[in-house]
């Protein structure tokens, strides 16, 4: 598990090659770093939304939303409303254009800013593809803000101090082509609600 984590971190770092790195600004640099832009492959997007059972009553937040694909698909295929939060202005613009093209601009919004500045109290589903350190930092925010029953679905990086409601493993050909590693894990969690204790996770050796 540790080797896998290190491999993924290295691969995420590699993705920051020429032409792929997000444009930097002083504000960008001051934000807690959840990692570079690495898009979730479309197959994985669909599996994440299915795992969280996203439907028309949901308000989906993708924290670090990249080109907006998770939020756009949640609206287009599952009828949900959605908000993407992304620090990179170009990606936010691309997301807004993508939402118009997909015909869901009335149901989704893309905010340029820091993940930690959004209010998650109305959220029913959170989607994530962020580095492990960011996951640890987000854990208290999720405990404090997410309503009881909200689902969190994370691509590859677990919330190590939360008990998993489900876990899926499969290979993604697109990821194999882009990152050289197709192995994919999805983790599902359920929020207990503000103020309620999250039961301790039965942590498996090496999962931290």
Binding site for ligand SAM (CB under 6 A): 22, 31-35, 37-40, 62, 64-66, 69-70, 85-88, 91, 114-115, 129-130
**Shortest Cβ 23–ligand SAM spacing (Å):** 10
**Shortest Cβ 25–ligand SAM spacing (Å):** 12
The nearer residue to ligand SAM, 98 or 192, going by C-beta atoms, is 98
Query: CA 99, CA 87: separation in Å to the nearest integer?
Result: 18
Closest residue to ligand SAM, based on beta-carbon distance? 64
**Shortest Cβ 78–ligand SAM spacing (Å):** 16
3-class DSSP state of 22: coil
Cβ atoms 11, 179 nearer than 8 A: yes
The nearer residue to ligand SAM, 11 or 165, going by C-beta atoms, is 11
**Shortest Cβ 41–ligand SAM spacing (Å):** 8
Query: CA 126, CA 51: separation in Å to the nearest integer?
Result: 12
The nearer residue to ligand SAM, 146 or 186, going by C-beta atoms, is 186
**Shortest Cβ 39–ligand SAM spacing (Å):** 4
The nearer residue to ligand SAM, 39 or 193, going by C-beta atoms, is 39
The nearer residue to ligand SAM, 110 or 162, going by C-beta atoms, is 110
**What SS3 string covers 111-142?**
EECCHHHCCCCCCCEEEECCCHHHHHHHHHHH
Query: CA 184, CA 176: separation in Å to the nearest integer?
Result: 10
């Amino acid at each position: 598990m540790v080797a896998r984590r290190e491999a993924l971190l290295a691969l995420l770092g590699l993705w920051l090659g020429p032409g792929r790195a997000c444009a930097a600004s002083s504000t960008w640099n001051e934000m807690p770093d959840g990692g570079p832009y690495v898009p979730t492959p479309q197959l994985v997007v669909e599996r994440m939304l299915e795992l969280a059972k996203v439907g028309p009553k949901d308000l989906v937040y993708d924290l670090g939303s990249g080109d907006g694909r998770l939020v756009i698909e949640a609206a287009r295929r599952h009828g949900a409303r959605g908000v993407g939060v992304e620090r990179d202005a170009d990606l936010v613009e691309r997301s807004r254009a993508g939402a118009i093209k997909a015909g869901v601009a009335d149901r989704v919004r893309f905010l340029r800013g820091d993940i930690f500045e959004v209010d998650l109290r109305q959220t029913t589903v959170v989607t994530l593809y962020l580095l492990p350190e960011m996951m640890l930092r987000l854990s208290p925010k999720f405990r404090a803000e997410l309503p009881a029953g909200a689902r969190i679905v994370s691509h590859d990086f677990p919330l190590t101090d939360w008990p998993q409601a489900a876990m899926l493993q499969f290979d993604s050909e697109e990821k194999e082509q882009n990152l050289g590693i197709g192995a994919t894990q999805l983790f599902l969690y359920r929020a207990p609600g503000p103020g309620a204790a999250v039961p301790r996770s039965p942590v498996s050796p090496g999962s931290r």
